[in-house]
Amino acid sequence: MDALAEIDLNLMCDEAVRDPHTYFGRLREQEPVFWNERHRAWVITRHADLSTALRSSQLTAERISPFTSAVTSAAASDEVDDTFRILEDWLVFKDPPEHTRLRKLVARAFTPTVVRARTEEISRTIRQLVAELDGEADLIREFAYPLPAVIIAQMLGVPPADRDLFKEWSDKLTSLVFGAYGREDRFETAARGMIELRDYLVDLIGQYERHPGDNLISVLLEHEDGDTLSRQELVATCTLLLFGGHETTTNLIGNGMLALLSHPDQLALLRAEPHLIGPAVDELLRYDGPARATVRMVKDPHEIGGRQLSKGDRAFLVNLSANRDPEAFEDPDRLDIERRPTNHLGFGVGIHYCLGAPLARLEGQLSISALVDSYPGLELAADPDTLDWHPTMLSRGLVHLPVRTA
């Protein structure tokens, strides 16, 4: 471990939050698989190792139960207990066969046909928010943050008057799921938000059970090959759709716009050739996507990158580092919207590949296109080096993104 002597092994140190590509790049070069005693976890940073690990049945996504045991003793309450019971039913925290069954039932809500059918509704929402930007604006607070929560609320069938509540509930969940450091009350805050959201969803699900509508809840209530989601599973799935459809898409748009505005040549290319928006979004996911790391637990002892992992160990799979690995991408620190990086790990890989990827791509493409088209003079209103990033272990997102629209 002498190779790491000059590196701060606090994965939430200032450099790791502010400039994680440089920080994890050094780790990838010097010790691509190492045991981090401070965090009591393996840190894995190479693309090839992540690709293997994310597909491996020797690692498990079922990490809520051990986390619950560690947390509830320090933050015990009925609300906290109920919150973790809901999280345990999220399919992202399941292994086969439970994961296989749940994914099959939930995937009905994200088929290409379902997503395409929402394009005009999503475009209308985006145009409305874009039109409200004027002069100097905070692109996170005024656009990238409210947009995904409004869209998933629309898709779930939430009445317009209640959609602001969804943004608040999602914000409370973020501090728990993504591991917000410096928030001593994050468990209690998340629990209050989760219970309020659960109670709201129980009523909404009951409404659409009696009177189905054109929304995802009605789709998820349907039977598939004689099976259907239980009420508990349906509530958990709706909370996951809200959370998964909000935080990561906000950061995709925010990080993506920062990257484009910091690379005028690439922004100009996108303006000149708008058909590149598809590969551009995938390149932005690779270059500085919202997924900082993925957590897995070791189910069976095995070796990765020449290191022996033991049963019960925790592992941080650093997606952000893998997406800048020179063994996988030529000139990886260069933004190139013509690259077409089909092997990036922004949405993961394997059985846990992001179920909402088609929707996230659509929102990213429509949002970035609308901003670029609507404001030819759009520019940063702050030095990129002075911008603040949320100090979370598993995600990467800006606190604010000040811009001038003209």
Indicate the range of 168-182, 270-284, 309-323, 392-406 predicted with least confidence.
168-182
Closest by alpha carbon to 383, among 399, 402, 398?
A: 402
Residue appearing with tokens 């088929």: 111
Which residue spans within 55-204 are E strands per DSSP? 59-60, 136-138
**Residue 180 predicted with pLDDT over 80:** no
* pLDDT value of residue 77: 66
* pLDDT value of residue 398: 96
State which fold the 2-404 domain adopts: Cytochrome p450 (1.10.630)
59-60 vs 136-138, strand pairing mode: unpaired
Helical H segments across 211-273, by residue range: 216-221, 231-261, 264-272
Closest by alpha carbon to 377, among 137, 123, 141, 148?
A: 137
Cis peptide before 159 (omega within 30 of 0): no
**Residue 186 or 34, more confident:** 34
What confidence tens digit (pLDDT) does each residue in 335-379 have?
Answer: 999 999 899 999 999 999 999 999 999 999 999 999 999 999 999
**Residue 164 or 404, more confident:** 404
DSSP 3-state of 375: coil
CB 259 within 8 A of CB 324: no
Q: With bands split at pLDDT 50, 70 and 90, how would you rate the model's confidence at 67? A: low
* pLDDT value of residue 71: 53
Please name the residues in contact with 333: beta carbons below 8 A apart, sequence gap of 6 or more. 21, 324
* pLDDT value of residue 109: 86
pLDDT cut 70: percent of the chain above it: 92
* pLDDT value of residue 253: 98
**Residue 182 predicted with pLDDT over 90:** no
Mean per-residue pLDDT, 2-15: 86
* pLDDT value of residue 64: 77
What confidence tens digit (pLDDT) does each residue in 386-398 have?
Answer: 999 999 889 999 9
Average pLDDT over the chain reads 90
Our CA dihedral for 210, 215, 218, 220, rounded to 10 degrees, sits at: -160
User: Which tokens go with 74?
Assistant: 């320090």
**Residue 73 predicted with pLDDT over 60:** no
Q: Whole-prediction pTM value? A: 0.91
**Residue 11 predicted with pLDDT over 60:** yes
379-380 vs 402-404, strand pairing mode: antiparallel
Indicate the range of 69-83, 263-277, 294-308 predicted with least confidence.
69-83
For 56, other C-beta atoms within 10 Å of its C-beta total: 17
First to last CA, the chain: 51
What confidence tens digit (pLDDT) does each residue in 239-255 have?
Answer: 888 877 788 899 999 99
CA angle 273, 276, 281 (to 5 degrees): 140
**Residue 137 predicted with pLDDT over 80:** yes
Q: With bands split at pLDDT 50, 70 and 90, how would you rate the model's confidence at 80? A: confident
